[in-house]
Amino acid sequence: ELMVVTVSLHVIRVFFTRAYTKPREYVWMSGVLLLLMTLFAGFTGYSLLYTQKSYWAVTAGTNLAGKIAIVGPFLQKLLIAGDSFNKFTLSRFLILHGAVVPAVIGGIIFIHIILLRKVGVSELNGGGKTYKFYPDHIMTEVIIGLMLLFFMTVLAIVCPLEPGVKANPLVTPLHIKPEWYLYPMFKWI
């Protein structure tokens, strides 16, 4: 969830500083694609818990994917490894979460950085000036990354997460809703 928060805050900052305008429109599009892939990474990782909440989130999410025109039914069967949730579904989501999605995110980050180097990194005030990618931008990112890593480590030690109730496909919870970042998609259903 911290990654979703971080990427969302970055997208909001870029939007409000108008750093998405010409000549940075391709940087913006790759950033939005990164946000979508981050949400998908959150969804695939969330499903691996195999709790009541995650089981029904996977069921709802794959049913929603199945409604996409033309490719929907194929995509749904591909995601859940058949017609319904089965013993291979979690393996598919583990492969997606641990290998496919990180590789795609890494590729998009590479493209994002190449585009940033081409047009330059905008300042916070949204002005036309840019600052050097190296060492200014790299050092800022390293410092922020280390602070986030420290914060996540402390958070994991102080407030460890407890597993929820194991999934039971025969029992539908009365009031279930997904994590906050998947809630808008839940409302579509």
pLDDT digits (tens, 9 = 90+) for 135-178: 887 898 899 989 989 998 999 899 988 777 788 888 877 777 77
Query: Smallest Cα–Cα separation from 52: which of 176, 181, 185, 162?
Result: 176
82-91 contacts: CB < 8 A, separation 24 or more?
A: 85/55, 85/58, 85/59, 85/169, 89/58, 90/47, 90/48, 90/50
- 112/20 Cα distance (integer angstroms): 13
Provide the pLDDT for residue 129.
63
Provide the pLDDT for residue 71.
95
DSSP string computed for 55-83: HHHHHHHHHHHHTSTTTHHHHHHHHHTSS
Provide the pLDDT for residue 125.
63
The 10 Å CB-count burial string (b at 16+, else e) for 54-86 is bbbbbbbbbeebbeeeeeeeeebeebbbeeebe
Provide the pLDDT for residue 133.
73
User: What would the two tokens of residue 15 be?
Assistant: 């939007």
What's the Cα-to-Cα distance from 185 to each of 9, 19, 62, 127, 158, rounded to whole Å? 19, 27, 12, 35, 32
pTM as predicted: 0.81
Sign, CA torsion 93/65/12/122: positive
- Identify the three-state secondary structure at position 108: helix
Provide the pLDDT for residue 187.
73
Provide the pLDDT for residue 9.
92
Provide the pLDDT for residue 76.
94
DSSP string computed for 8-31: HHHHHHHHHTTTTSTT-HHHHHHH
Which residues of the chain are under the pLDDT cut of 70?
Answer: 123-131, 189
Provide the pLDDT for residue 126.
55
Provide the pLDDT for residue 130.
66
Provide the pLDDT for residue 7.
92
Residue located via tokens 């981050």: 38
**Kind and range of the H or E element at 130?**
strand 130-131
